[in-house]
Amino acid sequence: MGKKARIKKLKRKLAKLKARLKAAETHRHSVSPLAPKDGFPHLPVIGGVRFSAVQAGVRYPGRVDVMLAELDPGTAVAGVFTRSATRSAPVLDCQAKLGSDPAAGAAFIVNSGNSNAFTGASGERAVAAITEAVAKISGVPENRVYSASTGVIGEPLPYERITAKIEELHGTMAPDAIELAARAILTTDTYAKGAGAEIKVGDNTVRIAGIAKGSGMIAPDMATMLVYIFTDAKVEQALLQRILAQLVDETFNNITVDSDTSTSDSLLLAATGASGVEITENSTAFRDALKGVMLDLAHQVVRDGEGATKFVEIHVTGALSDKDARTHAMAIANSPLVKTAVAGEDPNWGRVVMAIGKSGAAADRDRLSIHFGDILVASQGWVSPAYREDEGAAYMKNDDLLIAVDLGLGAGAATVWTCDLTHGYIQINADYRS
Amino acid sequence: MGKKARIKKLKRKLAKLKARLKAAETHRHSVSPLAPKDGFPHLPVIGGVRFSAVQAGVRYPGRVDVMLAELDPGTAVAGVFTRSATRSAPVLDCQAKLGSDPAAGAAFIVNSGNSNAFTGASGERAVAAITEAVAKISGVPENRVYSASTGVIGEPLPYERITAKIEELHGTMAPDAIELAARAILTTDTYAKGAGAEIKVGDNTVRIAGIAKGSGMIAPDMATMLVYIFTDAKVEQALLQRILAQLVDETFNNITVDSDTSTSDSLLLAATGASGVEITENSTAFRDALKGVMLDLAHQVVRDGEGATKFVEIHVTGALSDKDARTHAMAIANSPLVKTAVAGEDPNWGRVVMAIGKSGAAADRDRLSIHFGDILVASQGWVSPAYREDEGAAYMKNDDLLIAVDLGLGAGAATVWTCDLTHGYIQINADYRS
């Protein structure tokens, strides 16, 4: 064979291999195909909050990795955290500080690259050093400085790299720098996540803006991530905490990527009161707007699920109770076999039946019905007579999917959101530390 | 650049791509790297049992896919089945038949390719047709004919293809054809699984031989698979059932591949009595030998876990109770993040801490200690001072791994076995049906 022919042959081989490789690999650094098409949203500026972010080189150089938010005196702070029995030093510190006096203002300081989790006594020392440094420069008392860390577990946090930057952080704050703050808290995320809302209350406007990070170890309680939400509403601190706890149950606690729960989950909600609009127990417009922001952020976290190529809503009805419905929905959402079927665009409703069967909640095989989108796939213990496999297969090609199950037993209902399980997830997590 | 140099460059590129591709892909049809090196073991022939297998073309042509085992009059049969709420028609039929009169003998008929699960009334008709046909030809009453089906869920079982072969099956039975039977029941398995034992009781010998199938949807209760074990011991049927139930808890219920539970799990244990050796409540030698066979089969199922490249024993001690220890062990074994770390040969003990934290059972971060093999990795809430990452990384290169956790709280202990989560799992399950 001549050299020309050999080159041609090798090039053909190369092209084939490249195509196969592309199918087998998903690049962690490319943006999730499910990311919002318009990029980071334009968020309302919240009176009483200022943001900044810097490159501190906590783990990786060349990226912003520490953010600071300072909040005016009078800002109420509510929080919800992971229930992990091995939660991190910053989480324990934040929990101890909840309920402290709002009059003194507050500050949030967050780093990525290192989670300061399972770091023993050194972890507590790191938290103390960071929150002390923020308190000293900002004038906010230390018991109002909330810190968080996200990244690798079990390695000592090089906190001097952070404390060395506090002055720069404090000196460069701006009310409209929330997007930069959103970028500083990312780890394996492929895009920065933000959501906002504005509501009219009489002649006034109440504004809400939130940011989130999270793409793996996403499961209740609560979804594994960091979330910071800010509003200029005026809300009494205990009420703010009640509202938050209730809405977390309706939003972040209903998403799952891989059933794993982080040791660092933290959600903080700050209400500065700058709008002058007072929120009471019955302010449903505020609750609805806040829930909208939380749900938007929760969905964005699922859409950035490690390796995700499909966003899946699991809607279960007809269960004996809401709790049973949620158990079934989570069993479907967390089943590796369901998740890989979705990845393969395979309308494999048999695996949905399997997941319902194993969930432990009540089910009757012969009363089940399953829809994929609007398509009735199975009912009365068997595939629906009208169902055509090619219809199901065509539906599964969509980016956003609905799997709806009716158990035919009662009035219990639940909705959860998840993503598929792909080669990308394996790739990201089989070499995260190396 | 000259043609020679271009060829050289292209060849280099090709070699690189091939290496990356090899890492990214795992071929489902190649035998698991964790399979027993010596192939299918030489099993003792059990008096009172005969086996046969045929190609019935249930789903795929060119492979044996139906097996029959006929058992002499007087054979006691015990069984354990999936607890799935959506279990298959054959499982329901077998459960109803447990406890029927041993005097009449028994028969086991099993097909692969189609699980006859979630097939409504047609599923029950298929079971009836198959067991009736076996009863007619073998002379075993229908209430002693136990059937099982494994494969795709939700598609009607083409049972005529099986009933058409019953005469051939009955006519070709042989006492030493157990390996062929083991091959007929495989689905995504990459090798046939068998295990056996012989024990001396006075001048007599008691023999045990078992076969199993299973490689995905492996989780309690019980591990998703089909298992058939035969012994020539003489055991009263109720006692046989008690022994089996106890030993399943110590063996098959402690393995997990992907946390998914099949709708078809079945384990049948038949005691023909041909050895004349009577087993009583206190026959520990028999129990130990039977447990050895069951554990061997259970481990073989894990070693054939879909895409598995590592066999992992999780050993938890120091828990408040055995139940707590098992909860922790299963949380570690089922964590996608732990399983992908193992796949990546990453000694990521932080993910083990995470899994313990999320399990829901009692744990104290600062009392935990973690070993990888003999290497103390973490203790007292932090990485062990003597631990060196390169030591951990070297250990993780082994095929067989031990992750040992001591909680430092009490005397509860548990051991479970699992495998890693790799590209191979995704590849197998994202296109199983297509």
pLDDT in tens, A46-79: 999 999 999 999 998 889 999 999 999 999 999 9
Say if CB A341 and CB B258 are below 8 A apart: no
A335: helix, coil or strand?
A: coil
Mean pLDDT calculated for residue range A212-218: 75
Assess contact for B342 and B420: CB atoms under 8 A.
yes
For residue B407, what pLDDT is reported? Answer: 96
Contacts of A153 in chain B (CB under 8 A): 350-351, 353-354
Cβ of B176 under 8 Å from any chain A Cβ?
no
Amino acid at A174: A
Looking at the complex, does the CB of residue A354 fall below 8 Å from at least one CB of chain B?
yes
Closest to B308 in 3D by CA, of B348, B355, B254, B257: B257
Tell me which residue of A320, A69, A98, A323 sits closest to A209, measured CA to CA: A69
Please choose, from the candidates A125, A149, A417, the residue with its C-alpha nearest in 3D space to the C-alpha of residue A265: A149
CA distance, residue A324 to nearest chain B CA (Å):
13
Whether A222 has a pLDDT exceeding 70, the answer reads no
Q: What pLDDT score was predicted for residue A27?
A: 40
ipTM > 0.90, yes or no: no
Residue B433: closest C-alpha in chain A? A346
- When pLDDT is cut at 50, 70 and 90, the band that residue A183 belongs to is very high
Q: According to the model, what pLDDT value does residue A155 have? A: 85
Per-residue pLDDT at B221: 42
What pLDDT sits at residue B375? Answer: 96
Q: A224 catalytic, yes or no?
A: yes
The nearest alpha carbon in chain A to B114 belongs to A350
Q: Rounded distance, CA A284 to CA A303, Å? A: 28
Q: How far apart are CA B434 and CA B415, in angstroms?
A: 37
What is the length of chain A?
Answer: 434
Tell whether A16 lies on the interface with B, counting CB pairs under 8 A: no
* Structural Rg of chain A based on CA atoms: 24
Task: Decide if A422 and B426 are in contact by the 8 Å CB cutoff.
Answer: yes
SS3 B214: coil
| Minimal C-alpha gap between B220 and chain A (Å) | 9
Q: List Cβ neighbours of A63 (8 Å cut-off, separation of 6 or more).
A: A55, A183
On whether any CB of chain B is under 8 Å from the CB of A397, the answer is: no
For chain B, 434 residues long, the average pLDDT of each consecutive 10-residue run is 77 69 50 89 97 94 94 96 84 93 95 88 94 97 96 88 97 96 91 96 94 72 74 97 94 78 83 96 94 95 90 97 95 92 91 89 92 94 89 96 97 94 85 50
* A:B CB pairs within 8 Å: 255
> Nearest to residue A342, comparing CAs of A389, A400, A298, A384?
A400
Contacts of A50 (CB under 8 A, 6+ apart): A69, A70, A173, A174, A175, A177
Tell me if the bond preceding A222 is cis, omega within 30° of 0.
yes
CA of A223, closest CA in chain B: separation in Å? Answer: 12
Q: Does the distance separating the beta carbons of B354 and A84 come in below 8 Å?
A: yes
Instruction: Give yes or no for B154 touching A (CB within 8 A).
Output: yes
Domains annotated on chain B, with CATH: 49-303 (3.60.70.12), 311-430 (3.10.20.340)
For residue A233, is pLDDT > 90?
yes
Return the closest-CA partner of residue A240 out of A270, A217, A262: A270
Interface of B with A in 242-301 (CB under 8 A): 258-263
Which residues in chain A are contacts of B259 at CB distance < 8 A? 334-336
Q: Within a 10 A sphere around the Cβ of B385, how many other Cβ atoms? A: 8
Identify whether the C-beta of residue A256 lies closer than 8 Å to the C-beta of residue A225: no
* CA–CA gap between residue B111 and residue B59 (Å, rounded): 10
Residues A240-251 have a mean pLDDT of: 93
pLDDT of residue B29: 52
Rounded distance, CA B141 to CA B135, Å? Answer: 5
Residue B17 sits at the chain A interface (C-beta within 8 Å): yes
Percent of chain A with pLDDT over 90: 65
Helix (H) or strand (E) holding A166: helix A166-171
* Cβ <8 Å between A431 and B346: yes
Measured CA to CA, the distance from residue B87 to residue B82 in angstroms comes to 7
DSSP for A338-362, please give it: HHHHHHTT---HHHHHHHHHHSSS-
Residue of A nearest to B86 (CA): A357
Q: Kindly report the three-state secondary structure assignment for every residue of A67-130.
A: EEEEECCCCEEEEEECCCCCCCHHHHHHHHHCCCCHHHCEEEEEEEEECCCCCHHHHHHHHHHH
Query: Quick one: DSSP state of residue A44?
Result: P
State whether A153 and B351 contact (CB < 8 Å). yes
CA distance A408 to A369: 8
Q: Is the model more confident about B360 or about A167? A: A167
CB contact under 8 A, B357 and A260: no
Interface contact flag, A356 B85, Cβ < 8 Å: yes
Test B354 with A380 for CB contact under 8 angstroms. Answer: no
Distance CA B270, CA B264 (A): 19
Which residue in A13, A263, A357 is closest to B354 by CB distance? A263
Q: How far, in whole angstroms, is CA B364 from its chain's centroid?
A: 33
Which pLDDT score, from 0 to 100, does residue B434 have? Answer: 38
Average pLDDT along chain A: 89
C-alpha B411/C-alpha B352 separation (Å) is 20
Contacts of B93 in chain A (CB under 8 A): none
Q: Cβ distance B369 to B423 under 8 Å?
A: no
Closest alpha carbon within chain A to B83: A358
Residues 6+ away with beta carbon under 8 Å from B251: B291, B294, B295, B297, B298
Whether the CB-CB separation of A146 and A97 falls below 8 Å is answered with yes
pLDDT (0 to 100) of residue A142? 97
Is the pLDDT at A221 greater than 50, yes or no? no
The per-residue pLDDT for A28 is 43
Residue with tokens 């004349």: B276
Residue A20, pLDDT score: 55
Q: Which of B260, B346, B362 sits opposite A433 (nearest CB)?
A: B346
Which among B21, B335, B433 has CB closest to A260? Answer: B335
Name the residue facing A260 among B155, B358, B425 (closest C-beta): B358
Q: Which of B11, B358, B380 sits opposite A261 (nearest CB)?
A: B358
Whether B112 and B64 have beta carbons less than 8 Å apart is answered as no
Q: How far is CA A358 from CA A349, A365, A376, B14, B84, in A?
A: 15, 12, 22, 46, 5
The token duo for A20 is 């196969």
Query: What's the CA angle centered on A306, arms A302 and A308, to 5 degrees?
Result: 65
Q: Do A426 and B356 touch (CB under 8 A)?
A: no
A21 — contact with chain B (CB < 8 Å)? yes
Interface test mutation site (partner A, options B153, B335, B380, B431, max chain A beta carbons within 10 A): B153
A228 vs A70: CA distance, rounded Å: 12
A387 with A298: CB under 8 angstroms?
A: no
Confidence at residue B31, expressed as pLDDT on a 0 to 100 scale: 86
* SS3 category, B242: helix
Q: pLDDT at position B22, please?
A: 54
| Residues 87-106 of chain B whose Cβ lies under 8 A from any Cβ of chain A | 87
Question: Which residues of chain B neighbour A122 with C-beta distances below 8 Å?
Answer: 382
Q: Which two tokens stand for residue B304?
A: 């054939």
Q: Length of chain B, please? A: 434
Give CA separation, B421 vs A68, A359, A429, B270, B336, in Å: 38, 21, 10, 35, 7
Residue A266 contacts residue A227 (beta carbons within 8 Å): yes
Sign of CA pseudo-dihedral A263, A164, A230, A72: positive
What are residue A207's DSSP bridge partners?
A: A198
Inform me whether the pLDDT recorded for A26 exceeds 50. Answer: no
Distance, CA of A226 to CA of A40 (rounded, Å): 17
Q: Residue B129 and residue A234: Cα distance in Å, rounded?
A: 72
Say whether residue A84 is in contact with chain B using an 8 A CB cutoff: yes
* pLDDT at residue number B92: 92
User: Chain A residue with minimal CA distance to B115?
Assistant: A350
Nearest C-alpha of chain A: how many angstroms from B434?
Answer: 7
Helices (H), A271-411: 284-303, 322-334, 336-343, 349-358, 389-395
Is B408 an interface residue toward A (CB < 8 Å)? no
Concatenating the DSSP letter of every residue in B117-183 gives: -S-HHHHHHHHHHHHHHHHHHH---GGGEEEEEEEESSS---HHHHHTTHHHHHHT-BTT-HHHHHH
Residue of A224, A251, A256, A263 marked catalytic: A224
Cβ-in-10-Å burial (0-12, 13-18, 19+) of B378 comes to buried
Q: In chain A, whose CA is at the least distance from the CA of B335?
A: A260
Contacts of A259 in chain B (CB under 8 A): 334-336
What is the spatial distance between Cα B74 and Cα B426, in angstroms, rounded to a whole number? 46
Pairing relation of β-strands A226-231 and A266-271? Answer: parallel
What whole-number distance in Å separates Cα of residue A34 and Cα of residue A21? Answer: 21
For chain B, positions 182-221, list CB contacts with chain A under 8 A: 216-217, 219
The residue annotated as part of the active site, out of B119, B188, B224, B256, is B224
Contacts of A353 in chain B (CB under 8 A): 86, 117-118, 153-154, 263
Quick one: pLDDT band at residue A286, thresholds 50, 70, 90? very high
Contact A432 B346 (CB under 8 A): yes
Any chain B CB within 8 A of the CB of A25?
yes
Is A353 within 8 Å of chain B by CB?
Answer: yes
- pLDDT of A187 reads 85
Question: Average pLDDT, stretch A396-419?
Answer: 96
